[in-house]
Amino acid sequence: MVARRLAVSHNDDTFDVDYDTDDGFEVLKYQLFSLTSVPPDQQKILGRDDQIVSDESDLASISDKLRLVSIDEVEEEIVAEEKEKLENLAMSDEELARLIQAEEEALMMQHFVSRESKEQVEQRIQQYVNQVQMYEDPHRQEMARKTVPVDKLEEKALISLGREGNYKPTKVEQDNAFLLQLLFWFKQSFRWVNSPPCDSCGNDTRSQGMGVANSSETLYGASRVELFRCNSCSNITRFPRYDDPLKLLETRKGRCGEWANCFTLYCRAFGYDSRLILDFTDHVWTECFSPSLGRWMHLDPCEGIYDNPLLYEKGWKKSLNYVFAIAKDGVHDVTKRYTRKWPEVLSQRNIISEPSLAAVLSDITRELRKTLSAEVISALEERDRIEKNVIEQELHRKDDSSVSLPGRLSGDKEWRIARSEFVSAEKNSLSSSSCPVRKCIDDHVTNIYSAFSPVLSKLIEYSPSKKAAAEILEIFRKILVDLKNSPFRTRRISVKSVSSSSGDIFSKMLASFDQLLNALSLKSELGVNGSIDICLASDPVKTSVALPVMFHALDDVIYNIGQCARLDSRSLSWPLLKLNRLCSGLVLASGEELPFGVATCAFDGTRMSKWEEPNGAAGCWIIYQVADNRMVELVAYEFMSANDAPERDPKDWVLEGSENGGSSWHLLDKQTSQMFDKRFQRKAFTVSSPGYLSNAFRFRFLAVRDKNATSRFQIGSIDLFAGSS
């Protein structure tokens, strides 16, 4: 795999495109299609000296700066682009001049209003420096690790990589994936406190001001204690604000200070180079150095959001002033990473002058590094220099308007409204209206669907009724549940005999399940005591990825058996038998929710995910390009409703096919007034205009169930079925 970042200019825009050479040149063209709306067959890609780029070999020989024009308007586009370049250059100089002038004015204003509270600033930072030193305590780190379900998070990290097709990740990739799973786990396991429940009767409480910390509370750094009176029994409940993360491992509750404090300890406990981020406008979060990115990565445990430093300014609408990164070996002013409005922020930095602030941070950092070797200090100073340069470059980078950042999610509604950090639920999400082309890693889904064929044939041969057939599949399901609950790297279970007629039939037809086991990367073999054991056949991560699909497919098969008038050979047809499901294609959508509602979630075969389009209620689309540009006849498709919010379900849509990769479209099917009666309901449709060979398909969703109740569209899954070749 060779990853490259290409800067592609088109008209008056420049797009940063992350391109993996293993994906092929066609993927790059679809990525450009998603950004520019120029169809792949109409693209002319130019490199250095207007050299035409037509395949991977051309791409390997030129620079990382490309230019895209439409074939139909090549000459006109080239002339217009040169003109635009000159205009943009002049505009950039003008903008830079305005920026410099605004910064100079802000610095001059700061000189007059700064209160020169050097000691106060140093004291405020120093208390967090002392807190950060606790993260290096081996006992605290060990206690933190003991509270984490490490095996589960490691499995989830490897699953997340496997779903991207990366079954052989590097150590750096595994570490990065584990860090994100640690963040998501912490978000679910720690509790936010608005007002604590009464510790006597459990009912709601209201604030009664502050109290004095007792000896057991000060032992863990609780210099402040909030008091709350119960609305029912009038009991007083104490809420100590502990500073020692060791105590927070026990209480597992608090507000942003406790959340960031405890989560940063977890990060250090697992070896991540971490620092606590202090925002003087009242928030705290974490940064970890990411070797895979080559820079510090923002992580907010309260929100469960990562690598989105503009979250606070753009999403929460905060007016920032000072943001400091506090680590065991230095303190840094990182405010510029978290803003694109530096002159405005600079005008609000009136506590201390910039030279005095730089001196304070330098003194603290020098003190923290005084016991380090000259070699280590030199390496740290080099990393500081690189970080400073990166932050300066990011400060002047154009904001990505296609990415929508959410308002604050943590804390009760009234509290967020009072802080002007509240956004309505419909708009409160991390999303993108400019999606990349994504590859579906779903061949295991197709293999599982196909592998039911020999099982269903044997069920018809052996089972006397639909009820018995369902019982036999439930026996198989129970075996897989026990297998799933075993350690994922060494999964093995003995098949126990079941004393019933269905159990006897299951034993007779066990061999017919071999294809299903193979689809799960499992196998059956003779155990040491003569038992039949089911165990891993290859990569355990492939089994972990496929098991959820199998459980949901089993539920679907059992349901469809129940819907059959009778179980016989005539039942072996779609939708009970799902053959020729398309897989491994490329997907492009009009928009998507990040990171869990991306377009490929519609094709992953599980109920645990969905494709969500934040602005899709008014209309949206998704394009599926067949793997290797094969021409296929689509004969049927199936939708599944998502887990919640029925108002977002698709109601009206059009299905189209293309024989030329999306340059033109042919109507295949149209549906109106469709309703899903329940969650995770599957609805099957046959194509009304079959016989048209296509290498791409497009669904245009025209209406949701209730457009007045939502701005969003969502769908649990999409399965496409081709005719037999």
671: exposed, middle or buried (Cβ count in 10 Å: 0-12, 13-18, 19+): middle
Give the Cα separation of 704 and 649 in Å (integer): 5
Peptide bond into 197 cis (omega under 30): no
Rounded Cα distance, 588 and 600, in Å: 9
CB contact at 8 A, 132 and 276: yes
Q: Is the dihedral of CA 247, 251, 255, 259 positive or negative?
A: positive
Token pair for residue 530?
Answer: 């003569």
SS3 (DSSP) at 192: strand
Cα–Cα distance measured from residue 91 to residue 96, given in angstroms and rounded to the nearest whole number? 8
| Nearest Cα to Cα of residue 616 among 635, 602, 606, 636 | 602
Rg (CA), the chain: 29
CA atoms lying within 13 Å on the CB side of residue 221: 15
Among 244, 300, 442, 556, the active-site one is: 300
> Cβ(655)–Cβ(637) under 8 Å?
yes
- In 3D, which of 397, 445, 504 has the Cα closest to residue 95? 397
Report whether 288 contacts 179 (CB < 8 A): yes
Angle at 103 between CA 102 and CA 106, to 5 degrees: 85
Residue 555 annotated in active site: no
First to last CA, the chain: 33
CB 320 within 8 A of CB 351: no
Measured CA to CA in angstroms, residue 426 lies from 3, 188, 422, 612, 711 at distances of 35, 22, 12, 12, 7
Distance CA 512, CA 214 (A): 68
Of 256, 288, 583, 601, the active-site residue reads 256
Nearest 5°: phi and psi at 611? -90, 130
CA 562 to chain centre: 37
Query: Would the CA dihedral through 269, 270, 271, 274 be positive or negative?
Result: negative
Contact (CB, 8 A) for 182 and 153: yes
Annotated catalytic residue, options 283, 298, 332, 444: 283
Query: Would you call 725 helix, strand, or coil by DSSP?
Result: coil
Asked if 296 and 332 count as a contact pair (C-beta separation under 8 A), the reply is no
Residue of 534, 584, 578, 533 lying closest to 557 (CA atoms): 578
- 111: annotated active-site residue: no
Q: How many degrees, rounded to 5, is the angle at CA 705 between CA 702 and CA 710?
A: 90
Residue 437: which residues within 8 A CB-CB, separation 6 or more?
Answer: 27, 30, 31, 33, 34, 586, 587, 588
Strands 274-279, 283-290: pairing is antiparallel
Q: What HEC string does 483-543 produce?
A: HHCCCHHHCEEECCCCCCHHHHHHHHCHHHHHHHHHHCCEEEEECCCCCEEEEECCCHHHH
The question of whether 283 is a catalytic residue gets the answer yes
Local structure of 341: helix, strand or coil: coil
- Tokens linked to 484: 């799933």
| The two three-digit tokens of residue 582, written as one number | 């398309």
**Would you give the distance in Å from CA 645 to the centre of its chain?**
20
Nearest-5° Cα angle at 430, 610 to 643? 25
Active site residues: 256, 283, 300
